[in-house]
Structure 1
Amino acid sequence: MNNTHESQSGAEPSEVSPTSLIHYTGTFYFPIAFVARLPFAMMVVGVLTAVVSARGSLSFAGLSSAMVGLGTAVVGPLLGASADRFGQRVVLLLAGVTNGLLLVGFAWAVNSTMSNAAILAIAFVIGTTAPQVGPMSRTRLVRIISERLAPARKVRSFNSTMAYESAADETVFIVGPFLVGLLASMVAPWLPLVAAGVLTIMFVTAFALHPTSTMQSREDDGKAEVAPLRSLAHPGLVSVVVGILGVGLFFGATLTSLTAFMNDQGTPERAGLVYGVMGVGSAGLALAVALFPTRFTLRARWLVFSSLILAGTMTLPFAGSVTHLVMALAIIGVGVGPTLVTQYSIGSALSPAGRSTTVMTILGSAVIVGQSLGSAITGAIGERFGSTAALALPSGAASLVVLAGVSYWFFADRGVHGGDERGLPTSTPTDSALEMSGAR
């Protein structure tokens, strides 16, 4: 799978005249990749909504959505490892078509006489086949930047790309639940799952067939050594996984607790609209991360912005009005975007040789697992103890994000392997390289 541009020009990286990322991706790459990742953010909430409507049990609905997260946790990283070994195209095509059909089938099954056990099994398989578009997109783009752009353009392109990718993830995790609520309330509770299935089959297939999926690494022709799986257990990388799991828990706990609060107000259908307020500041600040000075190190950004999330969430249980919630969420959103960008940037820098897709998939899976668990736990507590108790849970998730940031700071001081001097992945990372990148 040789790169088309290479085969046509035969030029070395230093001889290639184009210096822009879009030269290699093409005009339509980013819209395709954005829409292709949208169903990933819809499936947990879509399953929750459909099951509540069809089976009339919030606790069983929470368990069903948790099974989606469990499936993603178990198999998601294996999909990433398979993509590292066999290429993204075949993995995405198989996962995308299977997942799309399962989403449509679940919409029928949950409204049938099928047993609860069978419903849980299908929910689990939906999670196992969820296409990891976001992580694979990051892997493609980072590879292009690190291996094909001129050295003078790498740092700026890397920072801008990681900022955009994290903003895109943040946006879909806001827009996805909003679309689920809109379609479910205006048409039928099963429609979001059918829509997600159709989008998956169409756009994940388009993403899989995009030429960037076959852009082979210059180090991949069977000559480069692939790091062993045990290298993924590096303490610094584990801290990043735990931190991004905390962000996923925050997403799930926040949306579900907002739903409980708005239900008390008699307008549960407006929960998605209130939740969307958080996405405005989050996406904007995520994009602005590319403009941050290098002296504002990655580990410092993690602690600063995650602390802002924690401070905002601590006010939620005391919300006496929708206005209070909106103000708190606007402040929280300022912290969410930069935190995600920082975590993905560090994760990219810590990726062992030949394991970049695996690492990015683990991080992407951690978000959906956290969202599933957060939704299930918060739903159960909200149903039993009320919306005030539910609104206290996002601060617990935010605390986990902060603690993971502290842990990463500790391991960075002790010498964490990473990337090159700007945080770009390398095949043989060194301690001093990551220190120069600002991650230490």
Structure 2
Amino acid sequence: MTSIVDDRSLIQHTGWGYFPVAFVARLPFAMMVVGVLTLVASATGSVALAGLTSGVVGVGVVVAGPIIGDLVDRHGQRAVLVPVGLANGILLALFPVVVLAGMPEPLVLVAAALIGLSAPQAAALSRTRLVAIARDRVHGARRERTLSRVMSYESAADETAFVIGPVLVGVLAAFLAPWAPIAVAAALSFAFVTAFALHPTAALADGDPAVPTERAPWSAVLSRPVLILAAATFGVGLFFGSTLTSLTAFAQSAGDGEKAGLLYGLMGVGSAALALTVMLLPARFSLRARWLVFGGVLVASAAGYALSRDLPAVIVMLCLMGLGVGPTLVTLFSLAGQRSPVGRSASVMTLLGSSLTLAQALSSAVTGALAEATSAQVAMALPFIASVLVLVLGVANAAQTRRRR
């Protein structure tokens, strides 16, 4: 890409209208796993099939994510996102027809897989787009601070979308019909993913197509420094999925199953709020150290959550868990921005985003099965295990960084 650096801020480059479009473009991605789960469970009465179907969506996302990222790195966001967004909208619109028509289970699973394979990855590509603009268009004096703000905002936007998505699914399913969340997700994919793809910032991030772009080989994406971030993001996904599902089981055991989404929102709000404050942290508080500190907060609060026996204790621990997971996620994506090989930013960001989504789907299924087979209290230990994985990987990252020095 040709660098055209000037004194304008990031928002002056993007325009204020970019941010609402990019945020809403995330919602189909945030709604699809829970929406598929809700529709299949309602239509078939089989929780097992519903869990399997949502898991297949997650597998499709993780398979396609790096491929979409590679195509974006090669051909630009517009060339890839427009057909992907339209295809995803069509497949989402057809899915209720497949399910409600009583089609055979294998066909339902194939339809779910296609939804996952066509997931637009708007969150990862928004990160990639803003990072590219900050690096190539923003003056060096403000570039580092701008990059920090980008990662803080993007992680907060992700947290908010992951909270709003399931809540929106629940509201639409309860007040309209179980197929309504998928129909709305299809409409959002048609309208907002396409608008995101065609936004002028896509051209800013892609640069001049006539200028040859240096691109590292795909093997560079699979380097140890990048894979450790993908593994840690997978751990965060395990944490999210196991927390939501175990919290649902806890609320149901207390006779308040409908409150699970609201309770989960407490963690999401705290997480998003603290993610935004990460931009205020001093540069001497290194990313390596932040991973360890906030990972430690996550482990301690998840341990408290596992030991909680009543609703007030659960609420307190959820708020504390949000204080740990939000900054941890910001840190992981900030490191990903630093470690992305030349010309492979979209590949790295979609790899991390796919890892997060797959882990959420898998951990939701495993946690739900464990809660049914044992108890909600046993299932509430799984977020602690996931948080330990994130912290252990943080320790490994610190050791690896010291060795490289």
TM-score between both structures, scaled by the size of structure 1: 0.89
Q: Name the structure 2 match of 1:353.
A: 342
Which of 379, 385, 391 is residue 390 of structure 1 equivalent to?
379
Q: Name the structure 2 match of 1:92.
A: 81
Which of 175, 179, 198 is residue 186 of structure 1 equivalent to?
175
Cα pair 2:242 2:364 within 8 Å, conserved: yes
Q: Distance in 1 between matches of 2:258 and 2:124?
A: 31
Q: Name the structure 1 match of 2:90.
A: 101
Deviation at 1:283, TM superposition (A): 0.9
Which of 252, 255, 274 is residue 285 of structure 1 equivalent to?
274
Deviation at 1:261, TM superposition (A): 1.2
Deviation at 1:195, TM superposition (A): 1.2
The alignment partner of 2:25 has SS state of helix
Q: Name the structure 1 match of 2:14.
A: 25
Q: Name the structure 2 match of 1:47.
A: 36
Q: Name the structure 1 match of 2:224.
A: 235
Q: Name the structure 2 match of 1:198.
A: 187
| Structure 1: gaps of 5 or more residues | 4-11, 416-430, 432-440
Q: Deviation per CA, 1:298-341, whole angstroms, max 9, x where unpaired? A: 01101111121111112223322222211110000001110011
Residue 13 of structure 1 pairs with residue 13 of structure 2: no
Residue type of the alignment partner of 2:188? L
Q: Name the structure 2 match of 1:314.
A: 303
The alignment partner of 1:403 has SS state of helix
The alignment partner of 1:175 has SS state of helix
Deviates more, 1:139-148 or 1:310-319: 310-319
Q: Distance in 1 between matches of 2:75 and 2:195?
A: 18
Cα pair 2:133 2:205 within 8 Å, conserved: no
Q: Distance in 1 between matches of 2:307 and 2:248?
A: 16
Q: Distance in 1 between matches of 2:100 and 2:380?
A: 31
Residue type of the alignment partner of 1:13? I
Cα pair 2:270 2:319 within 8 Å, conserved: yes
Which of 121, 124, 133 is residue 122 of structure 2 equivalent to?
133
The alignment partner of 1:110 has SS state of helix
Deviation at 1:216, TM superposition (A): 5.1
Stretches (4+) displaced over 3 A: 216-224
Cα pair 1:62 1:377 within 8 Å, conserved: no
Change (3 A) 1:216 1:199: closer
Deviation at 1:112, TM superposition (A): 2.0
Which of 249, 267, 277 is residue 238 of structure 2 equivalent to?
249
Q: Deviation per CA, 1:126-156, whole angstroms, max 9, x where unpaired? A: 1110001111111111111111111111011
The alignment partner of 2:234 has SS state of helix
Q: Distance in 1 between matches of 2:209 and 2:372?
A: 52
The alignment partner of 1:314 has SS state of helix
Deviates more, 1:388-397 or 1:345-354: 388-397
Q: Name the structure 1 match of 2:263.
A: 274
Deviation at 1:217, TM superposition (A): 5.1
Q: Name the structure 2 match of 1:337.
A: 326
Deviation at 1:218, TM superposition (A): 5.7
| Structure 2: gaps of 5 or more residues | none
Q: Distance in 1 between matches of 2:43 and 2:257?
A: 17
Q: Distance in 2 between matches of 1:223 and 1:207?
A: 25
Residue type of the alignment partner of 2:353? G
Cα pair 1:13 1:150 within 8 Å, conserved: no
Q: Distance in 1 between matches of 2:295 and 2:186?
A: 34
Residue 168 of structure 1 pairs with residue 157 of structure 2: yes
Deviation at 1:221, TM superposition (A): 4.6
Q: How many residues align?
A: 405
Q: Distance in 2 between matches of 1:169 and 1:58?
A: 27
Deviates more, 1:370-379 or 1:102-111: 102-111
Deviation at 1:219, TM superposition (A): 8.4
Cα pair 2:306 2:384 within 8 Å, conserved: no
Q: Deviation per CA, 1:78-101, whole angstroms, max 9, x where unpaired? A: 001001111101211111111112
Residue 64 of structure 1 pairs with residue 64 of structure 2: no
Deviation at 1:220, TM superposition (A): 6.7
Residue type of the alignment partner of 2:176? V
